[in-house]
Structure 1
Amino acid sequence: MPAYPDVDTIVAALKDAADAAIVPRFRSLQAGEIHEKGKDDPVTIADREAEILLTQSLAALLPGSVVVGEEAVSADEGILKRLDGDAPVWLVDPVDGTANFVAGKETFGVMTALVVSGVPVLSVIYAPISGWVVAAEKGAGAYADGERLPVNEDPASFESLRGAVMTHFMPETIAQQVASRAASLGERLRGLRACAFEYPAIATGDRDFALFSKTMPWDHAPGAVLLGETGGAMRYLDGTDYTPRSQRRGLLAARSPATWDAVAGGLFPEGDPY
């Protein structure tokens, strides 16, 4: 297995950035420190300053690596092309769950994933308020606060499953069809508005699945490593595996392949609607 930077060192980089730029502003943001990048897409001074710090610290951990950060891409979409290159890429979401952060809720996190040749191989999720850490490395397992997470192999039926069916960014016709079919689930849950919490909830069995419309790589690559090491499945709605090199619409993450099949069959019996 290739030698990647030590997880503890990565955690320290995320913690340092959070302590410097994020935590001091929690429940203390001023009006001029919050902006809207788009509809329902806030950004704060904490996002931007934390990303600058992480871009410097993570690149230094792996010589020759490059960084693709959410806020940098917001300013220059061409930065996404780094994922198509040969250099290892650090994907960075400096404040995942910015809307929760702005609202004073603790459900936000700092996330990074290391992508090599288009494949996510290592990820760290850090929750600054609780100090919770979830880390995973391809072929080496997944851990929550140092305890290894088990591999999920549970059988599943659509009517017994509970998970988030997020249709907010879907075309209206598709959203209506999905909402109607989701009524037959065991329980349709509200999204947590933070992949930093949504993916660990699936990996630990607190939730069975999550359906996403938008698929920006910094949101989902960390979860791809985590679910890959806990027996989960993460595929587009046509059944092909997730890749951070694609931002195609429609992504279903589930705690096991059987769960993925059950949810996909129940919500999209006619296949990929996109």
Structure 2
Amino acid sequence: MTFSDSDIPALTALLRRAGEEEIMPRFAGIGGAEIKQKQAPWDVVTEADTAAEVHIAAALSERYPGALIVGEEAVADNPAIMNGLADAELAFVIDPIDGTFNFASGMPAFGTILAVVAGGACIAGMIHYPVSGETTIGVAGAGSRIVGENGAEQVARVSEPVPLDQMVGTVSWGFLDEPLRGRVAGAMSKIGMSFAFRCSAWEYRLAATGRVHFISAQNLMPWDHLAGVLIHAEAGGYTACLDGSPYRPGKTDGGLITTTDPESWALIRREIFGM
């Protein structure tokens, strides 16, 4: 099994087809019967999630026989699928609709995420936005870019560092346990402005293009973060887990901070997390 940069256009086209054929025809017209709750009222899955994942996984399996395919919805049915991710020769990690709550609510802040993992590292990441037709792409050692529906490209680059009181950012503090949850929620008043899309696909795009200065997550499911962390790093940014270790395939908890540079990472960890 081999993967190279020349495969990126085909994968981008695959995500676009899944968006056009499985996701957008169901957007806005989705009914309550097609929405199922998982672990919380804001954690839902729809018919579009399942159909898009099946579409993408089938195409990947045909193109890359023997590769490990890790899809969010497939893992929900069989968690053992994730066991080989950290050591896989070649793996693809799929989030068919990241931001399903938004999708099911008729809000356009959602995306399809695909990460390529080889030998314990994420080597490529793509986030496709079906509403606009754009795709954010990062390739290890080759930078990050946004490709428009018409093929036009622009380089993705993180913002310059700014003081804490000028930062725009988000922390998924709702997944933290007390007393850290209350401490982090209160400390967010120290920054310039906070936001929350509940959509990693859009959070990483905003961070990688310099629109926001940091994002932080507690649950580190690979379909939510592998592609985005790589895209952000290739755009010049910095990510580390809360304990300072790098984020790797197979790690699913412990929290992480994604920001412009190591100094800003340390500042957020100290002032927001009190660590």
1:69 to 71, 88, 91: 71
Q: Which amino acid aligns with 2:177?
A: P
What is the distance in 2 between the residues matched to 1:252 and 1:59?
33
1:164 to 170, 190, 196: 170
CA apart distance, 1:128: 0.5
1:81 match: secondary structure: helix
What is the distance in 2 between the residues matched to 1:49 and 1:153?
36
Contact 1:167 1:213 in 2 (8 A): yes
Count of aligned positions = 269
Aligned residue in 2 for 1:219: 224
CA apart distance, 1:75: 0.4
Q: Which amino acid aligns with 1:131?
A: G
What is the distance in 2 between the residues matched to 1:151 and 1:18?
26
For structure 2, list consecutive stretches of 5 or more residues without a partner in the other structure: none
Which runs of structure 2 are paired with 1:77-156 in the superposition (5 Å)?
A: 77-145=79-147, 146-149=152-155, 151-152=157-158, 154-156=160-162
TM-score normalized by structure 1? 0.92
Indicate whether 1:28 and 2:29 are aligned.
yes
What is the distance in 1 between the residues matched to 2:156 and 2:6?
24
Identity rate, percent: 32
Relative to structure 1, is the Cα distance of residues 153 and 125 closer, same or farther in structure 2, using a 3 angstrom cutoff? Answer: closer
Contact 1:111 1:124 in 2 (8 A): yes
What is the distance in 2 between the residues matched to 1:258 and 1:63?
43
Indicate whether 1:244 and 2:246 are aligned.
no
CA apart distance, 1:6: 2.2
Indicate whether 1:179 and 2:185 are aligned.
yes
Q: Which amino acid aligns with 2:78?
A: D
2:61 match: secondary structure: helix
For structure 1, list consecutive stretches of 5 or more residues without a partner in the other structure: none
CA apart distance, 1:254: 0.9
Q: Which amino acid aligns with 1:93?
A: D
Q: Which amino acid aligns with 1:12?
A: A
What is the distance in 2 between the residues matched to 1:233 and 1:108?
24
What is the distance in 2 between the residues matched to 1:14 and 1:43?
19
Q: List structure 1 runs of 4+ shifted beyond 6 angstroms.
A: none
